[in-house]
Amino acid sequence: MIIVLKNGHENIIDEIKSRFTETNEVFVHNNRVAIQGISEDELNAEEKNAIDLIIDNVPAAVQGSRLFHPEDTIVTTPHSQIGGDHFTMMAGPCSVESAEHVMKMAKVAKSGGATILRGGAFKPRTSPYSFQGLGEDGLKFLRAAADDMDVLTEVMDQDHVAMVEQYTDIFQIGARNMQNFSLLKAVGKTQTPVMLKRGMSATIDDILNAAEYIAAGGNHNIIITERGIRTFDNKYTRNTLDVGAVPVLQKLTHYPVILDPSHAAGHTEFVTPEALAGVAVGASGLVVEIHDDPAHAFSDGAQALKPDEYLAMAQQAFAIRKVITTPTQEKSEVKL
Ligand code: PEP
Ligand code: MN
């Protein structure tokens, strides 16, 4: 249950907390108090008098819910803001390949308007014999290349959280780890923003509950990423981009929702159209893989945009963002 207090009745919050915290989870956001597992008749007369509204049908992932926190969360990093009215470009190679290569890709990313440099140093590969990433060396190369951009990189193991945190501005939790609850709890204990990618078979509620694990630990700097899901058809695309998930998630949660067209499409030729669809549908940002020599990329070359393709995509993405955020003209009468 969420109770919304009348203006000027916030002084009752401490009393509610002390009455219920021992037995129930209690969360407070401004004049809203979420108390899990109680019904209206457990409230006393004084509490009832302070209440403007009771919301009964509350999802399990309550802290992430707009019912509890109606305003957009804006995640702030040293060089970027993600969410709200902001549109954020994130780009870089799938894997950090060398100090020189990631430096070159950082320049490309930045010239397309990216303020966040992505790159994996710990790679979740389908085969154990595929390139697994450069590890901590890769993180050093990535950090050095980012210069005045933020770093976004995947953490795969709860034991690596403290080490990865030294180099990154945003943790990426990959699709395969979306329900690695120990890992979610570990990043939840930090205050470093977390970009959580939708698991390939995850429902909307699954990802919202995964995000709740991070919030439950005290870290509310969460970015949700749609990156394509497994459906009955992956013959022509690697995954199926669930573009409709973007507005649905934005309705349900206050966390920024961004889109990764690269892992959805799986093939370069479909990355730009899927990216633009994501912008058109209102995503707060894009995270895109780029490579200057995709044929020799250490991972995911088939879906990399070459620098010129990335620059063209980015230009169109910013243009579409402008169109959809420009207020429409005064209502014009339709004459029938
Ligand atoms: C990646 O970003 O390179 C990656 C492995 O993504 P995902 O977890 O979405 O497959
Ligand atoms: Mn990749």
Mean pLDDT by 10 residues, the chain (336 residues): 96 94 95 95 94 96 98 98 98 98 98 98 96 97 98 98 98 98 98 98 98 98 98 97 98 99 98 98 98 98 98 98 90 76
Instruction: Measure the CA–CA gap between 172 and 194, rounded to whole angstroms.
Output: 6
Residue bearing the CA closest to ligand 1, atom 9: 175
Instruction: Supply the pLDDT for residue 328.
Output: 84
Q: Find the residues whose C-beta lies inside 6 A of ligand 1.
A: 94, 120, 124, 174-176, 197, 227, 263
Q: What CA dihedral angle connects 246, 150, 90 and 105, to 10 degrees?
A: -160
Query: CA nearest 276: which of 306, 310, 307, 320?
Result: 320
Query: What are the residues facing 305 on neighbouring strands?
Result: 290
User: Which residue out of 134, 168, 176, 259 has the highest number of ligand 1 atoms within 8 Å of its CB and is therefore the one to mutate?
Assistant: 176
Instruction: Supply the pLDDT for residue 329.
Output: 78
Query: CA nearest 94: which of 304, 306, 269?
Result: 304
Instruction: Supply the pLDDT for residue 143.
Output: 98
Instruction: Measure the CA–CA gap between 7 and 40, rounded to whole angstroms.
Output: 20
Helix (H) / strand (E) containing 54:
strand 51-55
Q: Which ligand is nearest to the CA of 118?
A: 1
Instruction: Supply the pLDDT for residue 310.
Output: 99
Residue bearing the CA closest to ligand 1, atom 1: 94
Instruction: Measure the CA–CA gap between 196 and 177, rounded to whole angstroms.
Output: 9
C-alpha separations of 194 from 130, 200, 225, 255, 256 in Å? 26, 18, 10, 11, 11
Q: Which residue type sits at 189?
A: K
Contact 131, 299 (CB under 8 A): yes
Instruction: Supply the pLDDT for residue 330.
Output: 72
Task: Give, in degrees to the nearest 5, the angle at Cα 334 between 329 and 336.
Answer: 170
Instruction: Count how many residues are written for the chain.
Output: 336
The rounded Å distance from CA 117 to ligand 1 centre is 14
Instruction: Supply the pLDDT for residue 336.
Output: 82
